A and B are shown apart, each in its own frame.
Chain A
């Protein structure tokens, strides 16, 4: 049975909304664990939840059966809010579903092609798509790996080749005068790659924020002056880049540029208890967005206890700016606040981190887990199995580290060991 694949697809002309597409035999069964599926070919507004039942987002869900989908397989489309946290959350959950893996480049198209999902009318459209993909891939290949990053990825490649070739050495050249116990060396290599990948993932978290922007949540009791403050920030002509109001009922977003760092300011619904079920849902979403934001600013009016996890706590409505607080109404303290935010974010930005796309992230996470598992079982499992598993890891990482074939392994062996009876 084929894997079920997923990827984020852009939704042209619908800013603020992201489409995540899932295709494959397990698509329906898998996504059904995250929300109720609407009837086939009918859009339904659904609450999407993670594997512990936590709400991730509410969005439109569409199901297409194998006979009438773009790929020719069962397809589910999730239209969710374009926020980084939401997309990340949904993607992470998809990766945990059985039989699911991130799509390789061009894989949706490949499946459409293989399933003959083209009649003459569709052909032209598909040609455009293929051209676009080609261009996209070229641009991505150039931009995602540069300088120090490319070097790091090369090191992974080399270490993995070295590890794989040590294992092959003991298999293919057992009748030669070569080392027979390579487990320690192999484990060392694999572990160092796994550790470095973990480091990279952590750094990439921050790097990705640079691409997609950081989120700063303004939180506080109702009427603490959050909206006024946001408006004040938005009114500054240099700062305002775009405005998407009302993407949800309850969260207002304003994008600003903090000296080159793209930032989305979130004005969240006031955190209070509510009996209105619709408003309750809004508040729940607010909490989620706020919790996932990179920086949380609490506007304190003394009415509520300051919740945990706040990065900056500011006195609200300090209209004359004498108490070190902030005021949206008079603009007092706004410049200082933006300065603080900027240096806070700058301190989190690494110099050269790999701009990992979600697909890469999931590949790395899988690779790390496999590498650790292989290391753990190296001595107890037959070496041809370990060799196979290392090769599988290498193949899964192909998009990142480049293709590795037998010639690469043999090259590594012959350059290091004297083979030849």
Chain B
């Protein structure tokens, strides 16, 4: 054996994508640098102090299943936990927590400092490129940091411009400078770029709010934690409150609409349809007399309140006026005004499914820079980029995520195949295998992969293996106990009273049959922890339906295996429309599964592709 130099991965940006990327790369065994503007903003939440939610909670659990940071940090800093859609089935339940902003930042910073990650404070001004490959970064003080792979996770900082009423200032976040030179470099490389916008509401001083008479929203009694390994909240729990806009609020906004940056024509970037500003809500849904506002404490002591639902780019004095027209906020003080921000993003169709820039080898992108929005989306991409940059520099096979097994896979595939037309956010409806990709089984779906990669700490690994053992035991036990139809009916299960015996697992898959019924039929199952039995209940809920999806899933997996070589020439394929040929050469799918999802693809066109692919193989065998 001769000594191999340890490879280096440089992560630029200490946001949610950056920290997960650094964590993954470090755990993959590369020398890892995290370069960011300010060490004290690592893990800062730019907007809403909440982690998780519908679809997003799934992503957090998946990152957690890979030993990521976001879930544990959120649990550590959580001051209110709620499982959204608790009354609905497990596939669409989303864990969410309100966090103390400072505690969250601290938890993230602690997690990073516990890893072999070297933090570098500084602004990255440019990329170093050698022989067509990215080979490090140049800091604005002129220092060079060489590395084998660079992961950019600069969020909203590329050519960031902040709008508040008529004022525009350049900035990556309020009070932080934008990255202009770096953006120039990406433009210079000919990467396809676009412009997006988003906004944030004013923050209110907690003391200035009159809470009396506002409807309170407490957290769940049995908090569902974000991380699989957390057992309960760490901090005391607080309430949120709910108030509403009214006609008067709407009047003020309507009268001042022309002053809003969004309406004055200053902003060209496209904003998300699901996160409209209050100006948008009032003009687009004019007949709605009132909009809900959640007052969410940003910290445990509640000195700052985040009014969820009133993001705006109106001038500061108008913000004060409309906020004070709202019940409970009559004397509210604004501690930080709301604003809109416009920024550059890179069209993610320029990326591979490993998030590497196809035409700039050595460069990976993750987070909002790829046109997404949200901490969870950023974190998940950070994980993917970190794992893959580290694999690539160590000449290990890529770590791939399939739509059939994770929300991460769904997101990556959506991004690199479809691109974005507005800031991309996760929804459960994006996952076609939603019934099997649940937040509750993210560890079962993904942790084995992480174990195989060797990136989990011993504690997480043992925890998972014990849990799986118990689940398997309990499932086995349920399947081994069969009861007659009559007995089942007596226990309240709606089955035919025929002579047929059914095992307990089969009974559990019947709608409205839960753990308690099964326990009444076989009391010794009580030896298992309640969480284990609930897990089986979740699994059984959809089992009858999942059988139908198996075929589809296996087809997609097969197509994932039909890989398309990177230099595959679409131009001279007969039988594809020229439009489709053009799309395919932009997206450059790497498998038939990806090609199938390219916009405008038809079954017959796909046949043609599979066919050409197969002949090209036959031809090359013949030639070779």
Contact residues of A with B, CB < 8 Å?
1-3, 104-107, 109-110, 113-114, 116, 118, 120, 123, 126-127, 130-131, 133-134, 137, 168, 171-177, 380-385, 387-388, 391-392, 406, 409-410, 414, 418-421
Task: Classify the secondary structure of B's interface with A.
Answer: mixed
* Chain B interface, number of residues (Cβ within 8 angstroms): 55
In this assembly, does B434 line the interface, its C-beta being within 8 Å of a C-beta of chain A? yes
Using Cβ atoms and an 8 Å threshold, which residues of chain A touch B545?
385, 388
- Of the listed stretches B288-296, B320-328, B362-370, B526-534, chain A binds B288-296
- Of the listed stretches B259-267, B344-352, B608-616, chain A binds B608-616
Using Cβ atoms and an 8 Å threshold, which residues of chain A touch B511?
380-382
- Of the listed stretches B2-10, B13-21, B83-91, B174-182, chain A binds B83-91
**Beyond A106-B603, A172-B92, A385-B89, 7 extra complex contacts between A and B, CB < 8 Å:** A133-B604, A175-B53, A177-B292, A383-B89, A384-B92, A385-B545, A406-B429
Whether B54 pairs with A421 at a CB distance below 8 angstroms is no
Q: How far is the CB of A396 from chain B (nearest CB, A)?
A: 12
Using Cβ atoms and an 8 Å threshold, which residues of chain B touch A419?
273-276
A-B contact pairs, 30 of them (CB 8 A): A1-B551, A104-B603, A106-B606, A109-B607, A110-B610, A113-B611, A116-B614, A123-B615, A130-B604, A130-B607, A131-B574, A133-B607, A137-B602, A137-B604, A171-B428, A172-B54, A172-B55, A172-B428, A173-B54, A174-B88, A175-B84, A177-B291, A380-B511, A381-B511, A383-B88, A385-B542, A409-B429, A414-B273, A418-B288, A419-B275
Using Cβ atoms and an 8 Å threshold, which residues of chain B touch A104?
603
Take A3-B551, A171-B428 as given contacts and tell me if A123 and B574 are in contact as well, using a CB distance cutoff of 8 Å.
no
Whether A388 pairs with B285 at a CB distance below 8 angstroms is no
Q: Find A418's partner among B84, B284, B311, B551 (CB 8 Å cutoff).
A: B284
Residue of A nearest to B292 (CB): A177
7 closest A-B pairs by beta carbon, nearest first, are A414-B273, A382-B89, A418-B285, A177-B292, A106-B604, A421-B308, A168-B429
Using Cβ atoms and an 8 Å threshold, which residues of chain B touch A176?
292
Residue of A nearest to B426 (CB): A172
Q: Find A384's partner among B55, B285, B435 (CB 8 Å cutoff).
A: B435
Q: Find A174's partner among B84, B281, B551 (CB 8 Å cutoff).
A: B84
Whether B53 pairs with A420 at a CB distance below 8 angstroms is no
Take A172-B428, A384-B89, A421-B294 as given contacts and tell me if A107 and B622 are in contact as well, using a CB distance cutoff of 8 Å.
no
Count of A-B contacts judged by CB separation below 8 Å: 132
What's the Cα separation between A410 and B608 when bound, in Å? Answer: 31
Take A1-B551, A133-B604, A175-B84 as given contacts and tell me if A127 and B54 are in contact as well, using a CB distance cutoff of 8 Å.
no
Take A2-B551, A110-B603, A418-B276 as given contacts and tell me if A130 and B608 are in contact as well, using a CB distance cutoff of 8 Å.
yes
In this assembly, does B427 line the interface, its C-beta being within 8 Å of a C-beta of chain A? yes
Whether B435 pairs with A134 at a CB distance below 8 angstroms is no
Residue of A nearest to B562 (CB): A114
Residue of A nearest to B559 (CB): A114
What's the Cα separation between A114 and B593 when bound, in Å? Answer: 13
Take A123-B618, A172-B54, A418-B288 as given contacts and tell me if A406 and B427 are in contact as well, using a CB distance cutoff of 8 Å.
yes
Whether A126 pairs with B611 at a CB distance below 8 angstroms is yes
Per-position binary interface string of chain B over residues 238-278, scored 1 when its CB falls under 8 Å from any chain A CB and 0 otherwise:
00000000000000000000000000000000000111100
The residue in B288, B311, B558, B615 that gathers the most chain A C-beta atoms within 10 A of its C-beta is B615
In this assembly, does B492 line the interface, its C-beta being within 8 Å of a C-beta of chain A? no
What's the Cα separation between A20 and B285 when bound, in Å? Answer: 55
What's the Cα separation between A123 and B292 when bound, in Å? Answer: 63
Using Cβ atoms and an 8 Å threshold, which residues of chain B touch A113?
607, 610-611, 614
Whether B604 pairs with A105 at a CB distance below 8 angstroms is yes
Whether B607 pairs with A420 at a CB distance below 8 angstroms is no
The residue in B541, B558, B604 that gathers the most chain A C-beta atoms within 10 A of its C-beta is B604
What's the Cα separation between A421 and B427 when bound, in Å? Answer: 15
Using Cβ atoms and an 8 Å threshold, which residues of chain B touch A388?
434-435, 545
